[in-house]
Amino acid sequence: MSESFDIAIVGGSMVGAALALGAARAGFRVVLIERTKPVFHWPADSHDLRVSALTRASETILRNLGTWADMRVCAYECMRVWDARGFGEVAFDAADIGEPNLGHVVENREIVAALWRGIGQRSEIGVVIGQGVAALEEDGSALRLDDGRVLRAQLLVGADGARSRLRELTGIGLIARDYDQHAVVATVRLATGHRATAWQRFLPEGPLALLPLRDDLFSIVWSTTPVEATTLVEVPPEDFARRLTLASEHCCGDLVLVDPQRVAFPLRLQRATRYVHPGIALLGDAAHVIHPLAGQGVNLGLLDAGVLLDVLGDARSRGEPLGALGVLRRYERARKGHNLAVQMTMDAFKHLFSNRNPALYLARNLGLGLADRIVPLRRQFERIALGQGIELPALAQNRSDTCC
Ligand SMILES: Cc1cc2nc3c(=O)[nH]c(=O)nc-3n(C[C@H](O)[C@H](O)[C@H](O)COP(=O)(O)OP(=O)(O)OC[C@H]3O[C@@H](n4cnc5c(N)ncnc54)[C@H](O)[C@@H]3O)c2cc1C
């Protein structure tokens, strides 16, 4: 592969694959480089332990990319959030805001496979699978892959996750802090069905989220201390189910593990000091990693992709080079502040609810109570869950010309 491209994207998971599809749809010549082979088929009764709660904005992006109908999704209509050590509680209901639901929970493998099926239908997207990036060449306008091939592009994009190689090669700095929490993920079933409700209980060690999945299953994201996380992964399934039922305060009755497998992910806050460099842009987890307590990571990454496409489309119509720093700065300005605000809000929630200080205990319980009783405040939270209240890129706006 010796041709040059408009855009070379490193990393073809949810964010990079969405960008590739959107860029091809906008008429850019794209090459997508992904180290791991995408998976398209799995046993019907299996479940991905990794799921994402998607906002309405993300749903619209995936609809506009033509992949939404190709994914199994589970809508949730209500959400209940409460503090394990007090009286604070807030309940959200889509019906109160005239919406059909508050969002959808989707297995990550469904999102990635649907995007790659879309990519497979676009012959103009060059794809390199099973290769990583070894080096930057020609003053950062070309990538040398592990097998020695060199790819040139006007713009190189790092969508290669939290440990971004492109970020490292570019020398962009990182601000990072460990949360001293691990998130244990598992899939459970409950006899009563999930009633299209998501639950989140703030425990002293971290939040426990129960996200409704298809077939009356729940996906669990249980953030806790690293020591407890290790125990939760290692104890026999029945013991885990008993601990989980207790930790959830029996909100959904007895919970049973569907699959004995559980995995723990170390949690950290991380952000790149810059999102751009001449000829290079970072997005998704390569640019920012946030606490999963409000399920916003991939939602922010998809908005990054939408905004970058708007900026690149404008640059092309003005005859500006795609990799010019002045062009890329427009993308950075549009996204960095918003991502930082969401990141800091999640960080504040994490600290507020993991703190044993009696004043903070009172404050958070009063806060949850107020959020429940003061309707405008509750509406604001509902808008955040839906991914509303910000200026959306064209890809996240409803339109009739949904295509390909
Ligand atoms: C427990 C947990 C629960 C979460 N729940 C939610 C949720 O409900 N909602 C939500 O919005 N977010 C959630 N998140 C966050 C979300 O998972 C991430 O924000 C999202 O996966 C980031 O996507 P990405 O495409 O940017 O990066 P990644 O998913 O990390 O993908 C990076 C891709 O790049 C590839 N790659 C890496 N290096 C190279 C290289 N050198 N060359 C080629 N390819 C490379 C990798 O193989 C991978 O495919 C959660 C996170 C955790 C840990």
pLDDT in tens, 334-385: 999 999 988 887 777 666 666 666 656 656 665 656 555 556 655 666 666 6
Residue nearest to atom 25 of ligand 1 (CA): 15
* pLDDT band, residue 17 (cuts 50/70/90): very high
Give me the pLDDT at residue 53, please.
Answer: 95
What does the pLDDT look like over 137-192, one tens digit per residue?
Answer: 988 889 999 999 999 999 999 999 999 999 999 999 999 999 899 999 999 998 77
Closest to 310 in 3D by CA, of 340, 335, 275: 335
CA dihedral 298, 300, 303, 308 (to 10 degrees): -100
Does residue 15 have its Cβ closer than 6 Å to ligand 1? yes
CA dihedral 22, 26, 31, 36 (to 10 degrees): 10
14 C-alpha to ligand 1 centroid (Å): 7
Token digits of residue 225: 């201390």
Return the amino acid letter for 159: A
Give me the pLDDT at residue 404, please.
Answer: 39
**Are residues 1 and 151 in contact, defined by beta-carbon separation less than 8 angstroms?**
yes
Does residue 385 have its Cβ closer than 6 Å to ligand 1? no
Does residue 221 have its Cβ closer than 6 Å to ligand 1? yes
Closest to 379 in 3D by CA, of 93, 161, 134, 113: 93
- Residue range 4-176+268-396, CATH number: 3.50.50.60
Give me the pLDDT at residue 364, please.
Answer: 60
Locate the ligand 1 atom nearest the alpha carbon of residue 36 and give its number.
Answer: 47
* pLDDT band, residue 193 (cuts 50/70/90): confident
What does the pLDDT look like over 320-336, one tens digit per residue?
Answer: 999 999 999 999 999 99
Residue 1 has pLDDT above 80, yes or no: no
For residue 265, count other CB atoms closer than 10 A to its CB.
16
What does the pLDDT look like over 286-314, one tens digit per residue?
Answer: 999 998 887 889 999 999 999 999 999 99
What does the pLDDT look like over 53-101, one tens digit per residue?
Answer: 999 999 999 999 999 999 999 999 999 988 776 666 788 899 988 899 9
Give me the pLDDT at residue 403, please.
Answer: 44
Residue 225 has pLDDT above 50, yes or no: yes
**Are residues 251 and 201 in contact, defined by beta-carbon separation less than 8 angstroms?**
yes
Q: Percentage of residues in the chain with pLDDT exceeding 70? A: 86
Token digits of residue 132: 């990583």
CA dihedral 390, 391, 395, 399 (to 10 degrees): 100
Locate the ligand 1 atom nearest the alpha carbon of residue 166 and give its number.
Answer: 41
Give me the pLDDT at residue 198, please.
Answer: 93
Could you tell me the CA-to-CA distances from 54 to 218, 254, 314 in Å, in that order? 15, 27, 28
Length of the chain: 404
Give me the pLDDT at residue 109, please.
Answer: 98
**Are residues 284 and 304 in contact, defined by beta-carbon separation less than 8 angstroms?**
yes
Three-state DSSP class for residue 35: coil
13 C-alpha to ligand 1 centroid (Å): 7
19 C-alpha to ligand 1 centroid (Å): 14
How close are the terminal C-alpha atoms of the chain, in Å?
Answer: 25
Give me the pLDDT at residue 402, please.
Answer: 45
Which of 31, 144, 160, 178, when mutated, tests ligand 1's pocket best, judged by the most ligand atoms within 8 Å of its CB?
160
Residue 261 has pLDDT above 70, yes or no: yes
Does residue 132 have its Cβ closer than 6 Å to ligand 1? yes
Query: Rounded to whole angstroms, how far apart are CA atoms 63 and 360?
Result: 42
Residue 105: strand pairing partners: 53, 74
Closest to 62 in 3D by CA, of 49, 53, 71: 71
**Are residues 360 and 208 in contact, defined by beta-carbon separation less than 8 angstroms?**
no
Give me the pLDDT at residue 360, please.
Answer: 60
Residue 45 has pLDDT above 90, yes or no: no
Residue 401 has pLDDT above 60, yes or no: no
Query: Rounded to whole angstroms, how far apart are CA atoms 252 and 197?
Result: 10
Global pTM? 0.93
Return the amino acid letter for 86: G
Closest to 153 in 3D by CA, of 291, 320, 4: 4
Locate the ligand 1 atom nearest the alpha carbon of residue 160 and give its number.
Answer: 34
**Are residues 190 and 308 in contact, defined by beta-carbon separation less than 8 angstroms?**
no
* pLDDT band, residue 392 (cuts 50/70/90): very high
For residue 34, give every residue at least 6 positions away whose Cβ sits within 8 Å of its Cβ, in sequence order, or none.
11, 12, 13, 16, 17, 127, 128, 129, 130
Domain borders along the chain are 4-176+268-396
Does residue 321 have its Cβ closer than 6 Å to ligand 1? no
Give me the pLDDT at residue 84, please.
Answer: 72
Does residue 145 have its Cβ closer than 6 Å to ligand 1? no
